[in-house]
Amino acid sequence: MRSVLGLAAVTAAMCVQAPAQNFQPAPVVQIIREVVKQGKGAAHERAEGDYVRAFKKAKSKFHYVAFSSMSGGNEAWFIVHYPSFASAEEGRKEGEMEPLKTDLEAADAKDGALRESTRSMWAIYRPDLSYRPDQMSVAKVRYVSIGTYRVRLGKDEDFMSGAKSILGAYAKANVDAILLCYQVTSGAPAGTYIFFAPMNSLKFMDETAERQRNLTQAMGQDNYRQLMRGSGDTFVSIESALFAISPSMSYVSKEQEDSDPFWKPKSAAKPAAPAKPKTTN
């Protein structure tokens, strides 16, 4: 993770901060996307541990959670959360103070050799386009499905209307799901929205067809079909990706660590030292 970006804390579909219910999404997030070189996934994960140790050593008050891709390209996402853009500036200043600055530069040099590219985006939370965020139990989330929607210029009104219709149908059908929406303000084309759907288990995906049926019934088949037919005019592109949370690459608070053993992964065992050759007199 690039230290020059601000370095802090967590998932747009999550923003891990407190393990309890009544979760409140962060108003501002930074999304750092790293494309990892082929065959370097394990080495990259180990290298990210240097960042975690640097932040722990500095007792940084800023935290972050990492995602590893399970579909699409070989990527790692780091979702950084802030109460405001002003606090993001504070995070940048912290990363420039010693000894954290030197530790992060050393970690970045090692990690940089394992990346194809890095991209950063800033986004703001859209509560009006989110669904049941307060029902998420952060400590239990293990996977997240991320949908990236790019709205055509001049089609924002159609997008908002369609999204609210679908969310209304979700509520009417009492669909058991959680969605958090963030609107990208910098680092991506205008009209980019990212929806995070956190999951405790991949079993959630086995129930997709049933949720789709309930959604269609709640909205009405004719209304649903009409909405889907118009989606081609509303969006430039729609991309979906599946990720697993990586606790070993995440720097979370002690409260988060204590919430579930998952957040305290065991360090990889060091390889045994080669046996010393026997000497003869």
Q: Is the pLDDT of residue 196 over 80?
A: yes
- Give me the residue label for tokens 């963030």: 182
- Tens of pLDDT along 17-33? 333 445 789 899 999 99
Question: Is residue 22 exposed (0-12), middle (13-18) or buried (19+ Cβ within 10 Å)?
Answer: exposed
Q: Given this model, what pLDDT does residue 276 score?
A: 53
- Give me the residue label for tokens 């149908």: 169
Grouping H, G, I as helix, E, B as strand and the rest as coil, residue 117 is: strand
What lies within 8 Å, CB to CB, of 91 at 6+ separation is: 6, 7, 8, 62, 80, 82
Q: What residue spans of 67-155 are helical by DSSP H?
A: 85-95, 100-112
Question: Is residue 132 exposed (0-12), middle (13-18) or buried (19+ Cβ within 10 Å)?
Answer: middle
Grouping H, G, I as helix, E, B as strand and the rest as coil, residue 33 is: strand
Q: Virtual CA dihedral for 44, 47, 52, 55, nearest 10 degrees? A: -130
Q: Is the pLDDT of residue 152 over 60?
A: yes
Q: Which of 29-38, 87-96, 147-156 is least confident? A: 87-96
Mean of the pLDDT values across residues 268-276?
A: 47
Q: Is the pLDDT of residue 133 over 70?
A: yes
Question: Is residue 186 exposed (0-12), middle (13-18) or buried (19+ Cβ within 10 Å)?
Answer: exposed
Half-sphere exposure of 59 (CA within 13 A, CB side): 0
Q: Is the pLDDT of residue 43 over 80?
A: yes
Q: Given this model, what pLDDT does residue 7 score?
A: 29
Does 123 or 15 have the greater pLDDT score?
123
Q: Given this model, what pLDDT does residue 123 score?
A: 97
Q: Given this model, what pLDDT does residue 176 score?
A: 87
Q: What is the DSSP letter of 271?
A: P
The CATH number assigned to the domain with range 3-262 reads 3.30.70.100
Grouping H, G, I as helix, E, B as strand and the rest as coil, residue 263 is: helix
Q: Given this model, what pLDDT does residue 277 score?
A: 54
> Helix axis angle, 85-95 relative to 100-112, nearest 10°?
90
Q: Is the pLDDT of residue 184 over 90?
A: yes
Alpha-carbon distance of 227 to 168, in angstroms, equals 14
Q: What is the pTM of this model?
A: 0.83
